[in-house]
Structure 1
């Protein structure tokens, strides 16, 4: 281990052993470098010094150097990290530090990888859908509703959670059907948003984003530089709610009563029930994917081009209204301003009578 005088600070500088991957999409290998390291520096500082001395053609991606842009994602000693947030003081003096590109994504050159997979999944994720006629300046939310989804908005899209997820890290064939942890928490955030009018976020995450592939190993949470509890606060609640909506009749009933914008499912919504309201033209049943609940032709076409979704499933049900356009049933509404939390901690059963408001369909006539 050698030392020499640092001209910048006048303090002794230490030479440290680095092993950095060099190459491109055709191949490459690890190369050894002995690089000067000063007190208080991070791995990105050392890479920049290496670029100015022994390896001027070394390619790496970076931007803010403050842990907020997510650009400098690499794997340091085999673990996905931000180079600008990994201090050299965390390594022992005799330790060789290996720096390699993100393993899950195709290599462009040296430490730069092609992360376009993530942007493709971002485009596939349905965007925030505000209520009709409400402009951004007119949005009104209670603070408790802001706090529910604020944690997931801290994401800097470094894609460390994406690259560490073994579903695609070890199985390239899963990529077409799997969006990854970053977009699961995006779905969870929008599902918590009281102004989002889409009511199929959970179903979409299960059917189109591959939520069922995740077996909650929590590796994504461990590498998150923003300390987002991706698994505990995002993925697990989404999984639980998917199961509840499918199999728990009590939660299903509660969701129909409390969730804003959701119509209670009664006999009038069933195409097989007498007196049901039908809006679809007569004809043979069509092949219909799970994306059809959004009534979005483009989403439907994308789903039909996906993996294992070419099969006939029930079409979206008709509106539960009679010929006059009114709900032919008594309506119960909850006295809270927003949807319940996906964690299920703000609704108790049986329902307290003081929290229910009775509204008869013809009460305006009296």
Structure 2
């Protein structure tokens, strides 16, 4: 296919406000949206702000919204769109704008710090950890996360309700809690840390209503909802409402 001219509409502005600006720009075979953004910077908008790094879909830096859908600029091929389609690129809606397509995603790093780290088993030393392959595979899926925060952006609990941010960690970090809770060597319980309870009480698990929007936008195809959030919800519900669990906890408390 030969080169053609595409219509782009980019959000330009800063924390004080902004608006969409129209551009016509050349597109060549095999290009992705980030290529076009770079061409616009080189030829028409040298002051356009955009965050990017690896251009290989592994650093998570170039997150934005393309025609309203959270995507990575470097992984969205121009062949996805028709030649007469206007392509609108805007910053992540769930986070404050710094300038143009760059947002302040500090919220996510604050939430990451709130999740207690892996607790190594006291009885095992370095090099003595042993796990079944199925447990390794389960954790490995979640560790594919590239911290692009597209799942955080598309989650309507964060996206549409600013007041929820204080009490809700979002799917990326609830997935981290789920990974640790599933880990066969995590000794959090021995240290008095119940990850299922903290997921509910401190990280806002109950706010999630499993719409699977986070899974749909994940560039690593992690099944966030099915493999992390739903199982974590089930275990949290068992801990809180299962009568046998309640009886066991009551007996243990009385025995102290």
What range describes the TM-score normalised by the shorter chain of this pair? over 0.9
Partner of 1:239: 233
CA distance in 2, matches of 1:83, 1:27: 23
Determine which of 207, 211, 214 is the counterpart of 1:213: 207
Higher-helix-fraction structure: 2
- Counterpart position of 1:93: 83
Q: CA deviation at 1:23?
A: 0.5
2-structure distance, mates of 1:139, 1:30: 54
For the pair 1:16 / 2:6, whether they are aligned, the reply is yes
Structure 2 counterparts to residues 205-354 of structure 1, below 5 A: 205-250=199-244, 252=245, 265=249, 267=251, 269-271=252-254, 276-277=255-256
Separation in structure 2 between the aligned mates of residue 133 and residue 109 of structure 1, nearest angstrom:
51
Q: Which secondary structure does the structure 2 equivalent of 1:18 belong to? A: strand
The higher relative CO (CA closer than 8 Å, separation ≥ 6) is in 2
SS state at 1:93 partner:
coil
Q: Distance in 1 between the 2:5 and 2:176 partners?
A: 43
Residue 141 of structure 1 deviates from its aligned partner by 1.3
Matches within 5 A, 1:57-206: 57-132=47-122, 134-199=124-189, 200-206=194-200
Q: Deviations over 1:303-327 (max 9, x none)?
A: xxxxxxxxxxxxxxxxxxxxxxxxx
Aligned-partner SS, 1:167: helix
Per-residue CA distance 1:57-77 (angstroms, 9 max, x = gap): 100000110111100000000
Q: Deviations over 1:137-193 (max 9, x none)?
A: 332212121112211111111000000011111110110000000011101110111
TM-superposed CA distance for 1:248, in Å, is: 2.1
Shift of 1:135: 3.9
What residue number does 2:15 align with? 25
Q: So what's the TM-score if we normalise by structure 2?
A: 0.94
Question: Where does the alignment leave 5 or more consecutive residues of structure 2 unmatched?
Answer: none
- Runs of 4+ residues deviating >3 angstroms: 133-136, 264-267
* Whole-Å separation in 1 of the counterparts to 2:138 and 2:79: 36
Q: TM-score, normalised by structure 1?
A: 0.66
Is the alpha carbon distance of 1:265 and 1:171 closer, same or farther for their aligned partners in structure 2, counting shifts above 3 Å? closer
Q: Using the TM superposition, give the Cα deviation of residue 270 of structure 1 relative to its aligned residue in structure 2, in angstroms.
A: 2.5
SS of alignment partner, residue 3 of structure 2: strand
Root-mean-square deviation over aligned CA pairs: 1.6
Unaligned runs of 5+ in 1: 1-10, 257-263, 278-366
The 1:157/1:136 distance shift into structure 2, 3 A limit, reads farther
Aligned residues: 252
Shift of 1:118: 0.2
Q: CA deviation at 1:240?
A: 1.0
Contact 2:2–2:29 (Cα < 8 Å) also in 1: no
SS of the residue 1:138 aligns to: coil
What is the DSSP-based 3-state SS (H/G/I as helix, E as strand, rest coil) of the residue aligned with 2:70?
strand
* 3-state SS of 2:235 partner: helix
SS of the aligned residue for 1:31 comes to strand
